[in-house]
Amino acid sequence: MSFIFWGFGQIYNTNLKLGFSLFFLMTANSIFAMTLIPFSYPRAIQILYGIIIIMLMLGNAVHAFIEAKKIKEARLTKFNNIFFYVGFVVFYVILLQLVSFIIAGY
């Protein structure tokens, strides 16, 4: 779960503080990547930025997997249902669309 959307694996593992922090970090990172990276930096910086983001995604997913293996069973909370995760994905997509419309000037 954390490989696709940062923080979802941590939220599922009941580490809510870290999970929400990582999710909002991913959102801020996406907004930063859409606004500044394509327009103001040379190509080498863009490639380096992409490599760093991929490494962070892998690290996030591995951390969630290791934590899940440590607890061996998820303590179910109100956040461990499909509607919560779908809602967050919809929120994320809507937020990115709003930012892209603002940037494009529509």
Q: Tens of pLDDT along 37-51?
A: 666 667 777 777 778
Dist CA 29 CA 49 (whole Å)? 11
Given a cut of 60, whether residue 76 has pLDDT beyond it is: no
pTM: 0.60
Cβ-proximal residues to 1 (8 Å cutoff; 6+ apart), any chain: 8, 9, 12, 64, 85
The reported pLDDT for the residue numbered 106 is 58
Its sign, for the CA torsion 93, 94, 95, 97, is: positive
User: In this predicted model, what pLDDT tens digit does every residue of 10-62 receive, in sequence order?
Assistant: 887 778 888 888 888 887 877 777 776 666 667 777 777 778 888 888 888 88
pLDDT band per the 50, 70, 90 thresholds, residue 3: confident
78: alpha, beta or left? (left if phi > 0; alpha if psi -120 to 50): alpha
Domain residues of the chain, as ranges? Answer: 8-104
The reported pLDDT for the residue numbered 63 is 85
Distances (CA, A) of 33 to 21, 49, 106: 18, 9, 19
Given a cut of 70, whether residue 78 has pLDDT beyond it is: no
3-33: string of b/e by CB count within 10 Å (b at 16+)?
Answer: eebbbbbbbbbebeebbeebbeebbeebbee
Residue 2 is inside which H or E element, if any?
none
